Amino acid sequence: MAEMNLAQAVNDGLDAALGADDRVVLLGEDIGRTGGVFRITDGLLEKYGPRRVYDTPVAESGIVGAAFGMAIAGMRPVVEMQFMGFSYPAYDQVINHVARIRNRSNGRFTAPMVIRIPFGGGIGAAEHHSESLEAIYAHIPGIKVVVPSTPYDAKGLLLAAIEDPDPVVFLEPIRSYRAVKEEVPGIYYTVDIGPVRVERAGTDLTLISWGAMMKETRSTAGALEAEGISVEVIDLHTLSPLDSNGILRSVNKTGRAVVIHEAPRTGGFGGEIAAVIQERALYSLQAPVLRVTGPDTIFPLKRSESHYLPSVEQITAAARKTLES
Amino acid sequence: MAEMNLAQAVNDGLDAALGADDRVVLLGEDIGRTGGVFRITDGLLEKYGPRRVYDTPVAESGIVGAAFGMAIAGMRPVVEMQFMGFSYPAYDQVINHVARIRNRSNGRFTAPMVIRIPFGGGIGAAEHHSESLEAIYAHIPGIKVVVPSTPYDAKGLLLAAIEDPDPVVFLEPIRSYRAVKEEVPGIYYTVDIGPVRVERAGTDLTLISWGAMMKETRSTAGALEAEGISVEVIDLHTLSPLDSNGILRSVNKTGRAVVIHEAPRTGGFGGEIAAVIQERALYSLQAPVLRVTGPDTIFPLKRSESHYLPSVEQITAAARKTLES
Amino acid sequence: MRTLISPDGTVTDRLPLTLDQMKDLYADMVEARAYDRKSIAMQKQGRLATYASFEGQEAAQIGAAAALERDDWVAGTYRDAALMWRAGYPWSNLVAGRTGDERGGQPPEGVNVLPPSITVGGHMVHAVGLAWAEMLSESGRVALTSFGDGATSEGDFHEAMNFAAVYQTPTVFLCQNNGFAISYPRAEQTRSETIAGKAAAYGMPGVDVDGNDVAAVFLTVSEAVERARSGGGPTLIEAVTYRIGPHTTADDPGRYRTEDTTEEWRRRDPLIRIRRLFEEAGEWSDGWGEELETRSAERIEAAVAEAESLPQPTRSEMFHRMYAEITAPLLEQLGESDG
Amino acid sequence: MRTLISPDGTVTDRLPLTLDQMKDLYADMVEARAYDRKSIAMQKQGRLATYASFEGQEAAQIGAAAALERDDWVAGTYRDAALMWRAGYPWSNLVAGRTGDERGGQPPEGVNVLPPSITVGGHMVHAVGLAWAEMLSESGRVALTSFGDGATSEGDFHEAMNFAAVYQTPTVFLCQNNGFAISYPRAEQTRSETIAGKAAAYGMPGVDVDGNDVAAVFLTVSEAVERARSGGGPTLIEAVTYRIGPHTTADDPGRYRTEDTTEEWRRRDPLIRIRRLFEEAGEWSDGWGEELETRSAERIEAAVAEAESLPQPTRSEMFHRMYAEITAPLLEQLGESDG
Ligand SMILES: Cc1ncc(C[n+]2csc(CCOP(=O)(O)OP(=O)(O)O)c2C)c(N)n1
Ligand SMILES: Cc1ncc(C[n+]2csc(CCOP(=O)(O)OP(=O)(O)O)c2C)c(N)n1
Ligand SMILES: [Mg+2]
Ligand SMILES: [Mg+2]
């Protein structure tokens, strides 16, 4: 087992997939010669050649639409959108075609493909480079939406996504790409898409998050534990299909929950989670499910980034408020 | 005052806007010669001429992007997307440009424009013609999202949207276009964007909906009233900015709420509403906020439509469940 | 613009088909028109949702499909029933689809024809991906995508054409220029003189052909298919034709075009000119004509009967169609008895 | 491809500019390069977010902007600082933007230059709408949009070009073909020989010009602007140039191109050829050259100082920037003290 960060783990997963399955091909802007703007596909063109790894024109709809056709014809394309902010030109292809062909053809044609999308802020990037609009993908019937927050998960979920008979949007938290390293098996393995990942067991409070915000969520949990508060931390890691029971199991135990995401509050996926909890566990709730999120603003440029991203302080404050009720 | 259905009211509103403000122009597919597939712009090309009303190529991104440029240059374009299912090619223009120019330019440039989108199912239409993905628009910071359910509101909200200094996505419920008529003033008037519309006051239960589902919501309320249950009916009619206080005022009084929408459940805007209610009114809740929604499937073709759309029976059942808790 | 058989039936150039082959194509066009007529009638009776007639475009569709092998890919539109059928997609599936039944979108195994695209523009690039995959597997298969003049205004047309040219995929782009995007005439859609001319922007060959001449269409598409199969890359074909009927049964052409033009085009009817050719050649008999009519009617009736005999789709099917394995949220929602 | 001044400074055709005008353009290019150098340095020091150098493209940008009137519209990209500045957008705004401050996007009233587009492709059609509005108000204003070779692969390029041609808006499309879309070379982006050639697909004039020849660019853009102003509609101009630096400060060109090609292009540097021209004409003095350097350095330093003196943007500003009038949800969220 080697120590890898999340970026390396995704690269390792792509490598494993290309090695294990001839039907896997990679398409994306600058993913070949340069290995992509985040170097996630580094070395794969050299290793697998130009018939497996394709640099493409700057045309997101074309990339997703062509990969979709390849998938129908039996391949397993994995495409990279350079940043979530640049995935919107392909939104029509995703919602109107990729997500619908199985339904449209009553199962006769399917689109087993993966759309990798780096997302989220915190690196002082230019406009459009810090988007976190997972909610607009999680609301699309017919696809799955996966979000790893750890290197181990990243590789295992990616391989599961590539194996999945249905299309998967695979969201990669930019801020976490090189944040931490952990042991990642060199072998081919998968992590189940669906079930929540209970990262830390606790009894007083449930913190629920995904992607890059797991970092602040973990820190908060750690700090609260130090005060003797037992915190359960859930890494949702699959937004769609949502594992309601996994969430409810935890909240029925703790009676308190805070959902954390960096996407804008209104219409963010945190609303869905709070809704599900109060729908099915209202009577075990000791306090309202609180949301600590980005505000309903556009993700700001570098100098204002700290005004936007939820902080450990904000999460802690929400947690205390919940515990005090 | 004349009796108008919702389609006529929108037409009347567009007529009033074109008459009152030279800066108003209309762009869209087939909106000129044919008056649009729903005849909403009927007669306007004849009345205002080809410099005010434009038939356009089949290119949604181009339509919205060009209108956006016109708006920056001081005009007040109103564009029509033929159906919500065909608005997605323009999603990038809306989220990355229309919604952001004020922020990007710190107020120096703005995009006062309206994007009209017929939405929703129930008319046995072809694939993509019954979409109800208001949630993907309501989650975009920088725009407003308005949804009339009555002819009076349709005209007044449309004129308010056209006057608004910020871009507005104006959702028109297809199923309601010709469903009912009501008195609509022939004069120019506006209805405020934002505040919820309490359509019927009640004390036992709050039903919250918008768009075409208001019909089933009203019938349910009527039936329950007949049994002596006092139902408050809220027509949200603005999804963004959301009038949380308007909703809370009602639920704090009734202690019970059911949200109804035809969009798929997961990630639908009903989640946001339930989340807000439990966040800020948990202790006045007598029962969980229930959602009666479309399932997480693709809106089916004609023969299965009845399997998809929420029915009065479903809403009634949810209401009873809420009342019995 | 290539024409081999003029509207009056005179052959202006060597035909790529034997007389027997021409008869088969004619028979197919007759059957396609029978389907079109039947569909319009059924829609009036409320048995079909809105229907998009292809009357006048039979030659473009039958001629193109005839140039394909049975296992080639086809990605067409709501107006391509004749093309899809000739490529192997059963009438019964097409009828079922129009009754509003997802099962109509499921052609038999081995038929590589995608269900019709309802969105304009998005499906063209799918034929690039399909062809790309076949190119990589060296199957020799090609992919043909059919679309209208209006679809060439969409950004997706540009991206599809560019990808096909850049990667030299074996894709055939067949544009049926029928004069209108609903009410918007071709002349206003673009200032490019022809649609075929747009191919040059991608370094791709582009050719225009009389879309009402089944032989010319067959020859032109055959050449493009041959080029694609032999590694010569994609081709854009503009089949110039005309939509005789309304855009769909919900449309009123009176609002945007005159009966005169339509009348003119009726005189260029793709079936009539072939019949005239047969008559000239002394190969026509009214008996055979009637035979074709009755045979076609029988087949269409049978297809309609089959489609309408499909049991009412269940709520459960709607949920189970979504994923290979139904998801937890869908199972829960399916479980929720009404309410 | 039009050239008026060859790399060695010899004038190959009549110049559209007086010597004094040429000197102004040269001075502007010197100032632009000073900004570029300064920005690269500041980025290294962590004072700027990633920066996209335009070294080598000064002639294309300064020559184009010089052909515009003060109140014409400009919609360019992250790489168009020189173009935007010459069109009236202050250096201080450009620097502020790169420090990560939205206030950088707010040029003074009267300057009709939009903040740089960071997305590739989407902004071209905005220049169609801007020009359309001016056409309707008969203001005589035109709109110029600048974009790269890579942007022509986006569907939005197609829709923008088509709308401009269909409605004959006074729009000038300036493509700075600098050889690459990040790492993807122009030759692979499309099989069309030139980008200018793509204009024909829209019935629009398309011309290519030596993008490192400031006089040729000025003349070509002036002709397009004149055509637009006089109701002649849009033009596509391909300015053939080269990106001397990396795509952005985050990029490593070593991964996709050789130093040799870059060296070749250095020899075609847009500033050097003008300096040679002046030398030939006996119009060059080192004193003047140094003067320009110092003056430019001073102006850029002043702009940097102004940008860096902007107070730290507040949280409240982030909320109030969103709408003309702050909305209820934003007010509540702003009110929430941390947490
Ligand atoms: C993306 C999208 N936009 C708009 C529509 C509505 N619409 C359906 S058909 C049509 C016109 C298409 O014209 P053309 O491509 O020429 O095909 P034809 O109908 O003439 O065969 C339009 C605008 C759609 N289906 N999809
Ligand atoms: C829609 C979109 N997709 C991808 C990107 C990422 N990206 C930024 S610049 C660039 C290359 C653009 O190349 P070109 O148009 O030639 O402009 P240049 O950078 O060479 O000036 C890409 C792919 C983006 N900004 N927007
Ligand atoms: Mg057409
Ligand atoms: Mg470039």
Q: Does A313 touch chain D (CB under 8 A)?
A: yes
Q: How far is CA D154 from CA A29, A95, A287, D190, in A?
A: 12, 19, 50, 11
* Nearby residues of C58 by Cβ (< 8 Å), 6 or more positions away: C29, C32, C33, C82, C214, C270, C271
Mutational pocket test of ligand 1: of C53, C78, C80, C120, the residue with most ligand atoms within 8 Å of the beta carbon? C120
Reported as a single tens digit per residue, the pLDDT across D210-232 is: 999 999 999 999 999 999 999 99
- The whole-number average pLDDT for the span A300-310 is 97
Kindly identify which residue of chain B lies nearest to residue A298, measuring between CA atoms. B141
Nearest to C182 among B30, B295, B305 (CB): B30
Instruction: Choose the catalytic residue: D98, D123, D186, D243.
Output: D243
- Distance, in Å, from the CA atom of C67 to the CA atom of C64, rounded to the nearest integer, reads 5
Q: ipTM of this model?
A: 0.98
Which amino acid is residue A98, in one-letter code? V
User: Rounded to two decimals, what is the model's pTM?
Assistant: 0.98
Q: Which residues pair with B235 in a beta bridge?
A: B197, B209
When pLDDT is cut at 50, 70 and 90, the band that residue D339 belongs to is very low
Question: Does any ligand 1 atom lie closer than 6 A to the CB of residue C83?
Answer: no
Q: Does A199 touch chain C (CB under 8 A)?
A: no
Locate D214 and state its tokens.
């400031």
For chains A and D, CB pairs below 8 A equal 128
Reported as a single tens digit per residue, the pLDDT across B209-226 is: 999 999 999 999 999 999
Backbone torsions φ then ψ of C252, nearest 5 degrees: -125, 95
Q: Is the pLDDT of residue C338 over 60?
A: no
Q: Which of A56, A79, A102, A105 to mutate to test the interface with C (most CBs of C within 10 A)?
A: A105
The CA distance from D57 to the nearest CA of chain C, in Å, is 25
pLDDT score of A325: 84
pLDDT score of A1: 78
Average pLDDT of the residues of chain A:
98
Residues of A in contact with D39 (CB under 8 A): none
Reported as a single tens digit per residue, the pLDDT across C199-239 is: 999 999 999 999 999 999 999 999 999 999 999 999 999 99
Pair B27, B54: CB distance under 8 Å: yes
Task: Say yes or no for a CB contact (<8 Å) between A56 and D184.
Answer: yes
- The whole-number average pLDDT for the span B122-138 is 96
When pLDDT is cut at 50, 70 and 90, the band that residue D92 belongs to is very high
Nearest to B125 among C49, C102, C252 (CB): C49
Task: Say yes or no for a CB contact (<8 Å) between C181 and B126.
Answer: no
Nearest to D132 among B66, B102, B141 (CB): B66
Kindly identify which residue of chain C lies nearest to residue B295, measuring between CA atoms. C333
Q: Does C114 touch chain B (CB under 8 A)?
A: no
When pLDDT is cut at 50, 70 and 90, the band that residue B57 belongs to is very high
| Catalytic site includes residue D243 | yes
Average pLDDT of the residues of chain D:
97
The residues in C 165-224 lying below 8 A from A, measured between CB atoms, are 166-167
- Other chains touching A, judged by 3 or more CB pairs under 8 Å: B, C, D
pLDDT score of B1: 79
For a pLDDT cut of 90, what percent of chain C falls above it?
A: 98
- The whole-number average pLDDT for the span A277-300 is 97
Taking the centre of ligand 2 as the mean of its atom positions, its distance from the CA of residue D269, in whole angstroms, is 23
Task: Say yes or no for a CB contact (<8 Å) between A278 and B278.
Answer: yes
Strand ranges inside chain B, DSSP E:
2-5, 24-28, 53-55, 76-80, 114-119, 144-146, 168-173, 181-184, 197-200, 205-209, 231-235, 238-240, 257-264, 290-294
User: H-type helices in chain A, by residue range?
Assistant: 6-20, 44-48, 60-72, 91-93, 101-104, 134-138, 151-163, 214-226, 244-254, 269-281, 305-308, 312-324
- The whole-number average pLDDT for the span D169-195 is 98
Q: Does A76 touch chain C (CB under 8 A)?
A: no
Residues of D in contact with B59 (CB under 8 A): 159, 162-163
Reported as a single tens digit per residue, the pLDDT across B96-129 is: 999 999 999 999 999 999 999 999 999 999 999 9
Average pLDDT of the residues of chain C:
97
Q: Please compute Rg for chain C using Cα positions.
A: 20
The CA distance from D173 to the nearest CA of chain B, in Å, is 14
Q: Does A321 touch chain B (CB under 8 A)?
A: no
SS3 of A255-275: CCEEEEEEEECCCCHHHHHHH
The CA distance from A260 to the nearest CA of chain D, in Å, is 11
Calculate the CA dihedral of residues B105, B109, B112, B114 and round it to 10 degrees: -60
